[in-house]
Amino acid sequence: MLKTKKQETKANRVEQQAEKLSRPLVQELDDILGKPIKVLDDGFIRVVDYMGSDESIVQAARVSYGKGTKKVSEDRGLIRYLLRHQHTTPFEMCEIKFHVRVPMDCWRQWIRHRTANVNEYSTRYSLAIDASQRTPHTEWRMQSKDNKQGSEGFFDGDKGKQFSAQELELQNFSRQVYEQRVTEGMAREQARKDLPLSTYTEAYWKVDLHNLLHFLWLRMDPHAQYEIRMYAKTIGEQIVAKWVPFAWQAFLDYKVNASALSHIEIEIIKSLNAGGKDAAIEKAREFGLLPAAGQEIKGNRERSDIEAKLNLLGISIPWK
């Protein structure tokens, strides 16, 4: 039976609406969906599911439904504008769910980011995962002299071999004790209490793109602990870069590889340009970054941060 003109019009509207409401798909991300990406020695990250794409960010920002209303170059420009000016809500329209295997000490830092939905493997209900993160003998780090929560340099190979041997012995013994307790009927919630923090745990972690980028900005930073930095780099470079390439590049340009100037830093640079080194030094003294003339210059973390930015900009440090 032939369709009437009214029926054809209605069918076209339904088809157009379905097209407008179709779920954005990212082929590069679909290609790795469910596949574990190795991190550290026995950890992994895999994408379980995702919602949205670069297109979803643009759609939310324009409060517009439908495809092809703007050129790709304009979409890219809008995303860069949004991130540059910290208009973050459109980035919350994209979400992603990961399945991760991570050492417990690393997970403690990860779980501090309270802007995600989390469900962790339970060692009250199930046996603890029989895997612990081990450190190669060349990768034992020494305590930083300037940063109490950081590391600096490595122990020599012989000392590292000693540490690695001790680590293996400790992990094997703690596992043996744990399994003996469980075999003899001890409650799992108590049997687990002497497992080392190197024991791997697993979790589902679902987060929107805005909060994920904030997580990556903090945890990809060179000052972050190496182990969580490896997870962050893997998520960023091997997953987010495929999922939302425009947003990822804008994030690199305006957050990761950018540097903001404080009021103090701006004033010092203005003084340097207007009056030279002496003016900049005097300005630094006004802000308490340098002692009075003739006094010893002692360590100052804020001044060190300013010096790093001046070096980044290719500006000679006035007081050195």
State the catalytic residues.
Answer: 219
What are the beta bridge partners of residue 46?
99
91 Cβ contact list (under 8 Å, min separation 6): 57, 82, 83, 208, 209, 210, 213, 247
Determine the 3-state secondary structure of 98 from DSSP. strand
Distance CA 229, CA 46 (A): 16
Asked whether the beta carbons of 209 and 95 are under 8 A apart, the reply is: yes
- The residues pairing with 141 across neighbouring beta strands, listed in sequence order, are 154
Look up residue 36 and give its two tokens. 């574990």
Distance CA(234)–CA(236), nearest Å, equals 5
Please give the DSSP secondary-structure letter assigned to residue 199: B
Burial class (CB in 10 A: 0-12, 13-18, 19+), 241: middle
Phi, psi of 2, deg, nearest 5: -75, 140
